[in-house]
Structure 1
Amino acid sequence: MTNENRFNFNDALLTALFGTPSRKNTIDRLGIVCPVFPDEELRKSAVILCERIKKMDDFSWTALCKMAK
């Protein structure tokens, strides 16, 4: 069984590319780019990351975003 709360390589990649310190802006950006990813696995990772970000508080997201960049 995998840990769904673990921050994996795809999460870090997506955060580095599209993440901002603002959770709302990051969610908006991921919502725009998710449907156009050609790789199914990356698309699925982006959707899952977006849902996980929605559940985070602003402080946790800002810290995680800074660590990923």
Structure 2
Amino acid sequence: MLRIPELAMPRTRKVTTVYNSKKEVWNDREKAQDFFLRQMMTAEGEERDRAECIYIQLVHGLDKCED
């Protein structure tokens, strides 16, 4: 469970993701959400679960999202 309520977190546009041990810095949160939503829709199994985990963290406003 998160210590800070999601609504209280700042909604910055810059976000860092770690997906399949690959770190990537996004300058636009919406582009990152779009990418991981597409990954969720096209992948299967464990790969889909990882993308879903990051997508949920992005939606909740976290600045660093990891699978």
- For normalisation by structure 2, the TM-score amounts to 0.52
Letter in 2 for 1:42: E
CA contact (8 A) 1:27 1:53 kept: yes
Query: Between the two proteins, what is the percent identity of the paired residues?
Result: 12
Query: Going by fraction, where is helix more abundant, 1 or 2?
Result: 1
- 1:53 is aligned to 58
Instruction: Give the one of 16, 26, 48 matched to 2:23.
Output: 16
Structure 1 unpaired stretches of 5+: 6-10
User: 4+ residue stretches of structure 1 with deviation over 3 A?
Assistant: 14-17
CA contact (8 A) 2:41 2:48 kept: yes
Query: Going by fraction, where is strand more abundant, 1 or 2?
Result: 2
Residue-pair matches, total: 51
The answer to whether residue 33 in structure 2 is matched with residue 27 in structure 1 is yes
Give the root-mean-square deviation of aligned CA atoms: 3.0
- 1:8 is aligned to none
CA contact (8 A) 1:34 1:43 kept: yes
Q: C-alpha displacement at 1:42, in angstroms?
A: 1.7
Relative contact order, higher structure (CA 8 A, sep 6+): 1
- For normalisation by structure 1, the TM-score amounts to 0.51
